[in-house]
Amino acid sequence: MKIVGISGPSGSGKTTLIRRLIPELRKRKLTVAVVKHCPRGFDFEREGKDSWRFAEAGAKAVGLVSGDRLAVAYRERQIRDWKVLADRFFPGVDIVLVEGGRNLKGLRMVEIVTGPAASGARKRDPCRVALIVPSGRGVSRIPAADIKALALFIETVLPDEETAVKSHPQRRS
C-alpha cells in the first residue's frame, strides 16, 4: 500500500488533481481510497440528527448505512501513523491519497505550488516527494497538466509504506 498526501494552499487545485488522478490510477488496475484532512474538525451529520446525538452522547464510533454506502466516524485523539490508519480502514487498497495535511508528520507529500513559490527555491522537506507546478521548469517537478506522469510516479517510483518505513524510520511520528 502507498500513502501520499496532496497538499497546497486553499484553492490551489488539490481536489481537482485528486479527481483527475483517481481514474488514471484505476486505469492501471489500482484501487484508490481518499482521506480528506480537516484540520478544523468536521461534523459527521448535521446538528440535531440522530448520528450527531449519538456522537455527542459519547459514542466512540457512529455509522450510517444505506443500500450502497457505509460511513463510519470514529473519535480518535490524533492520527499518528498513517499506515495503521490505512490498514485499519482501507484494507486491500493499493493507494490512499490524503487531501491536505501539509503539516502532518510522516506523510509523504506531493505539493502543489503556485505563484512566486512555483519559481522560487523551496525549503527542503524529507517528506515532500514531488512538486506539482504550472510549468515543468526547475528541479524535480511534474507539470500540473501531466496527470499520467504523476500516476506513473506514484505507481512505480514511490515505494510502498513498508519499504518507506524501513528506509526512513526517522520520518515516522
Q: What is the average pLDDT across 36-62?
A: 82
Q: Taking the CB of residue 129, how many other CB atoms lie within 10 A of it?
A: 19
Cell of 40: 478544523
Is residue 7 within 8 Å of 112, Cβ to Cβ? yes
Per-residue pLDDT tens digits for 109-153: 888 876 655 444 355 555 666 666 554 443 346 777 788 988 888
Domains of the chain, first to last: 2-40+77-171 (3.40.50.300)
Cell of 138: 526547475
Residue 41, C-beta contacts closer than 8 angstroms, at least 6 positions apart: none
* pLDDT-based confidence at residue 74 (cuts at 50, 70, 90): confident
More confident residue, 121 or 58: 58
pLDDT score, position 138: 39
pTM of the model: 0.75
Burial tier of 124 (Cβ tally within 10 Å: 0-12, 13-18, 19+): exposed
How is the beta sheet containing 141-143 ordered, strand by strand?
Answer: 32-36, 95-99, 2-7, 109-112, 128-133, 141-143
The rounded mean pLDDT for the chain is 77
Q: What is the average pLDDT across 85-90?
A: 87
Is residue 149 within 8 Å of 157, Cβ to Cβ? no
pLDDT score, position 92: 92
